[in-house]
Structure 1
Amino acid sequence: MGELLIKRIYSPAEKADGLRVLVDRLWPRGVTKERAQIDRWMKDVAPSTELRKQFHGNPQNWTEFQHNYIAELQQAPEAVNELAELIKTHDTVTLLYSVHDEQQNHAVILREFLLTVLRNR
Protein backbone atom coordinates (compact mmCIF):
# COMPACT_ATOMS: atom_id res chain seq x y z
CA MET A 1 0.00 0.00 0.00
CA GLY A 2 1.21 3.45 -0.86
CA GLU A 3 1.12 6.65 1.13
CA LEU A 4 -2.23 8.43 1.53
CA LEU A 5 -2.03 12.22 1.91
CA ILE A 6 -4.55 15.04 2.07
CA LYS A 7 -4.09 18.55 0.76
CA ARG A 8 -6.08 21.66 -0.09
CA ILE A 9 -6.61 22.02 -3.83
CA TYR A 10 -5.50 25.65 -3.51
CA SER A 11 -1.97 24.57 -2.53
CA PRO A 12 0.43 24.19 -5.46
CA ALA A 13 0.64 20.76 -7.07
CA GLU A 14 3.88 18.92 -6.41
CA LYS A 15 5.44 15.82 -7.86
CA ALA A 16 5.41 14.32 -4.34
CA ASP A 17 1.58 14.38 -4.43
CA GLY A 18 1.58 11.32 -6.65
CA LEU A 19 -1.92 10.56 -7.93
CA ARG A 20 -4.08 13.62 -7.23
CA VAL A 21 -7.72 12.80 -6.51
CA LEU A 22 -10.31 15.53 -5.99
CA VAL A 23 -12.83 14.31 -3.39
CA ASP A 24 -15.28 17.23 -3.48
CA ARG A 25 -18.73 17.06 -5.04
CA LEU A 26 -18.38 20.59 -6.46
CA TRP A 27 -15.51 21.97 -8.51
CA PRO A 28 -13.47 24.38 -6.32
CA ARG A 29 -14.04 28.07 -6.99
CA GLY A 30 -11.33 29.93 -8.82
CA VAL A 31 -9.28 26.85 -9.71
CA THR A 32 -8.67 26.07 -13.35
CA LYS A 33 -8.32 22.47 -14.49
CA GLU A 34 -4.77 23.27 -15.51
CA ARG A 35 -3.87 24.59 -12.07
CA ALA A 36 -5.68 21.76 -10.26
CA GLN A 37 -3.67 19.08 -12.07
CA ILE A 38 -6.02 16.36 -10.85
CA ASP A 39 -5.81 12.80 -12.10
CA ARG A 40 -9.27 11.76 -10.90
CA TRP A 41 -12.39 13.49 -9.64
CA MET A 42 -14.33 11.16 -7.36
CA LYS A 43 -17.56 12.95 -6.48
CA ASP A 44 -19.15 9.77 -5.12
CA VAL A 45 -16.89 9.70 -2.04
CA ALA A 46 -17.71 13.30 -1.12
CA PRO A 47 -20.40 14.06 1.46
CA SER A 48 -23.89 14.44 0.04
CA THR A 49 -25.08 17.95 -0.69
CA GLU A 50 -27.50 17.73 2.23
CA LEU A 51 -24.81 16.64 4.69
CA ARG A 52 -22.35 19.25 3.42
CA LYS A 53 -24.92 22.04 3.86
CA GLN A 54 -25.85 20.83 7.36
CA PHE A 55 -22.22 20.88 8.45
CA HIS A 56 -21.44 24.28 6.92
CA GLY A 57 -24.52 25.66 8.66
CA ASN A 58 -23.37 24.27 12.02
CA PRO A 59 -19.62 23.52 12.05
CA GLN A 60 -19.69 22.93 15.81
CA ASN A 61 -21.40 19.63 15.08
CA TRP A 62 -18.18 17.87 13.99
CA THR A 63 -18.90 14.57 15.78
CA GLU A 64 -22.32 14.25 14.19
CA PHE A 65 -20.89 15.13 10.77
CA GLN A 66 -18.23 12.41 11.14
CA HIS A 67 -20.83 9.82 12.08
CA ASN A 68 -23.17 10.76 9.21
CA TYR A 69 -20.38 10.94 6.63
CA ILE A 70 -19.04 7.50 7.59
CA ALA A 71 -22.59 6.15 7.24
CA GLU A 72 -22.72 7.62 3.73
CA LEU A 73 -19.35 6.06 2.85
CA GLN A 74 -20.60 2.68 4.03
CA GLN A 75 -23.50 3.07 1.60
CA ALA A 76 -21.10 3.71 -1.32
CA PRO A 77 -18.94 0.54 -1.40
CA GLU A 78 -18.21 0.75 -5.14
CA ALA A 79 -16.73 4.25 -4.91
CA VAL A 80 -14.82 3.43 -1.72
CA ASN A 81 -13.43 0.22 -3.26
CA GLU A 82 -12.39 2.08 -6.41
CA LEU A 83 -10.47 4.61 -4.35
CA ALA A 84 -8.97 1.88 -2.14
CA GLU A 85 -7.68 0.11 -5.26
CA LEU A 86 -6.02 3.30 -6.44
CA ILE A 87 -4.27 3.60 -3.09
CA LYS A 88 -3.10 0.00 -3.26
CA THR A 89 -1.68 0.41 -6.75
CA HIS A 90 0.08 3.79 -6.45
CA ASP A 91 3.06 4.83 -4.37
CA THR A 92 1.34 8.03 -3.26
CA VAL A 93 -2.25 9.23 -3.49
CA THR A 94 -3.26 12.72 -2.40
CA LEU A 95 -6.89 13.45 -1.58
CA LEU A 96 -7.68 17.03 -2.57
CA TYR A 97 -10.37 19.12 -0.88
CA SER A 98 -11.35 22.78 -1.04
CA VAL A 99 -12.66 23.82 2.39
CA HIS A 100 -10.65 26.25 4.54
CA ASP A 101 -10.48 24.19 7.74
CA GLU A 102 -7.52 21.85 7.48
CA GLN A 103 -8.39 19.94 10.68
CA GLN A 104 -12.14 19.41 10.43
CA ASN A 105 -13.04 18.47 6.88
CA HIS A 106 -14.34 15.43 5.06
CA ALA A 107 -10.93 14.53 3.58
CA VAL A 108 -9.59 13.92 7.11
CA ILE A 109 -12.47 11.53 7.78
CA LEU A 110 -12.19 9.90 4.37
CA ARG A 111 -8.46 9.27 4.82
CA GLU A 112 -8.98 7.52 8.17
CA PHE A 113 -11.92 5.54 6.79
CA LEU A 114 -9.87 4.35 3.81
CA LEU A 115 -6.90 3.40 5.99
CA THR A 116 -9.24 1.29 8.13
CA VAL A 117 -10.75 -0.35 5.05
CA LEU A 118 -7.29 -1.17 3.69
CA ARG A 119 -6.06 -2.55 7.05
CA ASN A 120 -9.06 -4.87 7.23
CA ARG A 121 -8.49 -6.41 3.80
Structure 2
Amino acid sequence: MRRIHEPPRPDDGLRVLVDRLWPRGVAKEAARVDEWPKGLTPSTELRTWFHGGASYEEFRARYEAELGAPEAAGLLDGLRESVREGPVTLLTATRTPERSHAQVLLELLGG
Protein backbone atom coordinates (compact mmCIF):
# COMPACT_ATOMS: atom_id res chain seq x y z
CA MET A 1 0.00 0.00 0.00
CA ARG A 2 1.27 3.42 -0.89
CA ARG A 3 0.08 6.98 -1.38
CA ILE A 4 -0.59 7.74 -5.03
CA HIS A 5 1.47 10.93 -4.76
CA GLU A 6 4.63 8.82 -4.48
CA PRO A 7 6.34 7.95 -7.77
CA PRO A 8 5.79 4.46 -9.19
CA ARG A 9 8.46 1.85 -8.43
CA PRO A 10 9.61 -1.00 -10.66
CA ASP A 11 8.50 -3.59 -8.08
CA ASP A 12 4.93 -2.25 -7.70
CA GLY A 13 3.41 -4.87 -9.94
CA LEU A 14 -0.27 -4.20 -10.58
CA ARG A 15 -1.13 -0.67 -9.39
CA VAL A 16 -4.71 -0.41 -8.13
CA LEU A 17 -6.30 2.89 -7.11
CA VAL A 18 -8.68 2.15 -4.24
CA ASP A 19 -10.21 5.65 -3.88
CA ARG A 20 -13.65 6.50 -5.30
CA LEU A 21 -12.51 9.94 -6.52
CA TRP A 22 -9.46 10.68 -8.63
CA PRO A 23 -6.83 12.38 -6.41
CA ARG A 24 -6.32 16.10 -6.88
CA GLY A 25 -3.06 17.18 -8.41
CA VAL A 26 -2.17 13.77 -9.82
CA ALA A 27 -1.85 13.38 -13.59
CA LYS A 28 -3.37 10.13 -14.80
CA GLU A 29 -0.37 9.37 -17.00
CA ALA A 30 2.13 9.94 -14.19
CA ALA A 31 0.14 7.83 -11.70
CA ARG A 32 0.44 4.70 -13.84
CA VAL A 33 -2.77 3.18 -12.47
CA ASP A 34 -3.59 -0.23 -13.93
CA GLU A 35 -7.02 -0.69 -12.31
CA TRP A 36 -9.54 1.57 -10.62
CA PRO A 37 -12.34 -0.59 -9.19
CA LYS A 38 -14.68 2.11 -7.84
CA GLY A 39 -17.15 -0.55 -6.71
CA LEU A 40 -14.58 -1.73 -4.17
CA THR A 41 -14.35 1.67 -2.46
CA PRO A 42 -16.46 2.86 0.47
CA SER A 43 -19.77 4.40 -0.51
CA THR A 44 -20.02 8.18 -0.57
CA GLU A 45 -22.33 8.01 2.45
CA LEU A 46 -19.89 5.91 4.46
CA ARG A 47 -16.91 8.03 3.48
CA THR A 48 -18.73 11.24 4.46
CA TRP A 49 -19.88 9.70 7.74
CA PHE A 50 -16.34 8.59 8.61
CA HIS A 51 -14.81 11.98 7.83
CA GLY A 52 -17.40 13.53 10.12
CA GLY A 53 -15.51 12.16 13.12
CA ALA A 54 -16.72 8.57 13.44
CA SER A 55 -14.49 5.93 14.99
CA TYR A 56 -12.20 3.89 12.76
CA GLU A 57 -13.44 0.65 14.32
CA GLU A 58 -17.07 1.43 13.44
CA PHE A 59 -16.04 2.59 9.96
CA ARG A 60 -14.15 -0.66 9.45
CA ALA A 61 -17.18 -2.75 10.45
CA ARG A 62 -19.49 -0.82 8.13
CA TYR A 63 -17.01 -0.95 5.25
CA GLU A 64 -16.54 -4.70 5.63
CA ALA A 65 -20.34 -5.01 5.49
CA GLU A 66 -20.35 -3.01 2.23
CA LEU A 67 -17.67 -5.32 0.85
CA GLY A 68 -20.11 -8.20 1.31
CA ALA A 69 -22.43 -6.81 -1.38
CA PRO A 70 -22.30 -8.84 -4.62
CA GLU A 71 -20.46 -6.29 -6.79
CA ALA A 72 -17.86 -5.43 -4.14
CA ALA A 73 -17.38 -9.09 -3.18
CA GLY A 74 -16.72 -9.99 -6.81
CA LEU A 75 -14.20 -7.19 -7.18
CA LEU A 76 -12.49 -8.23 -3.95
CA ASP A 77 -12.26 -11.82 -5.21
CA GLY A 78 -10.71 -10.54 -8.43
CA LEU A 79 -8.17 -8.52 -6.47
CA ARG A 80 -7.33 -11.59 -4.36
CA GLU A 81 -6.67 -13.49 -7.58
CA SER A 82 -4.36 -10.70 -8.77
CA VAL A 83 -2.43 -10.92 -5.47
CA ARG A 84 -1.97 -14.67 -6.02
CA GLU A 85 -0.56 -13.98 -9.49
CA GLY A 86 2.02 -11.39 -8.44
CA PRO A 87 2.74 -8.12 -6.69
CA VAL A 88 -0.13 -5.65 -6.22
CA THR A 89 0.19 -2.13 -4.87
CA LEU A 90 -2.91 -0.48 -3.42
CA LEU A 91 -2.86 3.26 -4.09
CA THR A 92 -4.69 5.88 -2.06
CA ALA A 93 -4.57 9.64 -1.64
CA THR A 94 -5.51 9.54 2.04
CA ARG A 95 -3.04 11.19 4.39
CA THR A 96 -3.34 8.38 6.94
CA PRO A 97 -3.44 5.15 4.94
CA GLU A 98 -2.98 3.03 8.08
CA ARG A 99 -6.42 4.21 9.34
CA SER A 100 -8.34 4.08 6.10
CA HIS A 101 -10.28 1.82 3.79
CA ALA A 102 -7.00 0.98 2.05
CA GLN A 103 -5.70 -0.60 5.28
CA VAL A 104 -8.90 -2.64 5.59
CA LEU A 105 -8.44 -3.91 2.03
CA LEU A 106 -4.77 -4.66 2.64
CA GLU A 107 -5.63 -6.76 5.67
CA LEU A 108 -8.45 -8.58 3.87
CA LEU A 109 -5.98 -9.41 1.10
CA GLY A 110 -3.59 -10.92 3.64
CA GLY A 111 -1.09 -8.05 3.67
Q: TM-score, structure 1 length as denominator?
A: 0.85
The whole-number CA distance in structure 1 between the counterparts of 2:100 and 2:73 is 21
Q: Is the 8 A contact 1:84 1:114 kept in 2?
A: yes
Letter of the 1:107 counterpart: A
> Does 1:32 find its partner at 2:31?
no
In structure 1, the residue matched to 2:9 is 14
CA–CA distance in 2 between the matches of 1:100 and 1:87?
Answer: 24
Contact 1:70 1:113 in 2 (8 A): no
Report SS of the residue matched to 2:99.
coil
Name the counterpart of 2:82: 86
Instruction: Write 1 or 2 for the structure with the bigger share of strand.
Output: 1
Q: Could you tell me which runs of 5 or more consecutive residues in structure 1 were left unpaired when the two chains were aligned.
A: 1-5, 117-121
Show the counterpart of 1:113: 108
Residue 101 of structure 1, aligned match among 81, 89, 96: 96
Aligned counterpart, 1:62: 56
> Percentage identity across aligned positions?
47
Kindly report the root-mean-square deviation, in angstroms, between the aligned alpha carbons of the 2 structures. Answer: 1.3
Runs of 4 or more, structure 1, over 4 Å off, are: none
**Secondary structure in 1 aligned to 2:63?**
helix
5+ residue gaps, structure 2, are: none
Partner of residue 77, structure 1: 73
Q: What's the secondary structure of 1:54's corresponding residue?
A: helix
**Alignment: residue pair count:** 109
